[in-house]
Structure 1
Amino acid sequence: MSVLTRRADFLAANRGLRIARPGFVLLVNPNQNDSMRFGITVTKKIGNAVIRNRMKRRFRALLRELLPAAGLPAHDHVMIGREGGVERDFARLREELTAALTRAAEGKGDPPRRKPGPRK
């Protein structure tokens, strides 16, 4: 299991399945490497550097614990932090990630987001 570092890989993951949960959004997309990879993104909207780093550490621990057993082989997994995710109970985050990985394995993502533009 390796870590995503290139921006192009994160953008490619955005074209895959999207599963939203209260603490995070999980993106899952097949890759060409035949290896399971993961990445974490937490924007500045979430909080200062201390809060963002705490959230990334928690996500990293969750992914390293759950991906080997529940992750999809030959897929990229990207977790995007959401507001309030850092305050959520770790056990609850684990349950939500397990449920999200199960939905991804079944191919059930959330409906596509509406394209930005003028409303009618």
Structure 2
Amino acid sequence: MMVQARKRAPDEGAGIRVGFTCSKKVGNAVARNRAKRRLREAARAVLPSQGKDGWDYVLIGRAEATAARPFEGLLDDLRYALRKVHGPRK
């Protein structure tokens, strides 16, 4: 999975917003929908505790990896990505 994030301007509203996408490289419609369902569940589990208020996140499914990866691994990947996004800049 890949995560993109951006901090919204103060006048754009509060809360965490999240979007999901999978290209046709992931597979047919069934495979894309399965990958997006898994991403949604991972976001439900992780973003309330580790996401930041006022941020937008886009979770991007990857071919074969998103659907085949064990769910705990998917959760760990999202946590790692959020630490990278919100960690100190070098």
Same fold (TM over 0.5): yes
**In structure 1, the residue corresponding to 2:13 is in which secondary structure?**
coil
- TM-score w.r.t. the length of structure 2 is 0.88
Structure showing greater radius of gyration is 1
**In structure 1, the residue corresponding to 2:66 is in which secondary structure?**
coil
Unaligned runs of 5+ in 2: none
* 1:88 lines up with 2:65 in the alignment: no
Q: Using the alignment, how far apart are the partners of 2:32 and 2:67 within structure 1?
A: 8
Shift of 1:33: 1.5
**Greater percentage in helix:** 2
Give the equivalent residue in structure 2 for 1:98: 79
Shift of 1:107: 4.8
Q: Using the alignment, how far apart are the partners of 1:35 and 1:56 within structure 2?
A: 21
Relative contact order, CA 8 A, sep 6+: which one is greater? 2
Runs of 4+ in 1 over 3 A off after TM superposition: none
Identity of aligned residues (%): 36
- Within 5 Å, give how 1:1-120 maps onto structure 2: 24-31=1-8, 32-83=12-63, 84-107=65-88
Q: Using the alignment, how far apart are the partners of 2:61 and 2:35 within structure 1?
A: 7
- Listed one character per residue, the Cα deviations across residues 20-48 of structure 1 (whole Å, up to 9, x for unaligned) are xxxx1100101221221000000111100
Q: How many residues are treated as equivalent by the alignment?
A: 85
Unaligned runs of 5+ in 1: 1-23, 109-120
- Listed one character per residue, the Cα deviations across residues 77-116 of structure 1 (whole Å, up to 9, x for unaligned) are 10011122211111111111111111111155xxxxxxxx
**Residue identity opposite 2:86 in structure 1:** A
Q: Using the alignment, how far apart are the partners of 2:78 and 2:13 within structure 1?
A: 23
Q: Using the alignment, how far apart are the partners of 1:61 and 1:46 within structure 2?
A: 18
**In structure 2, the residue corresponding to 1:34 is in which secondary structure?**
coil
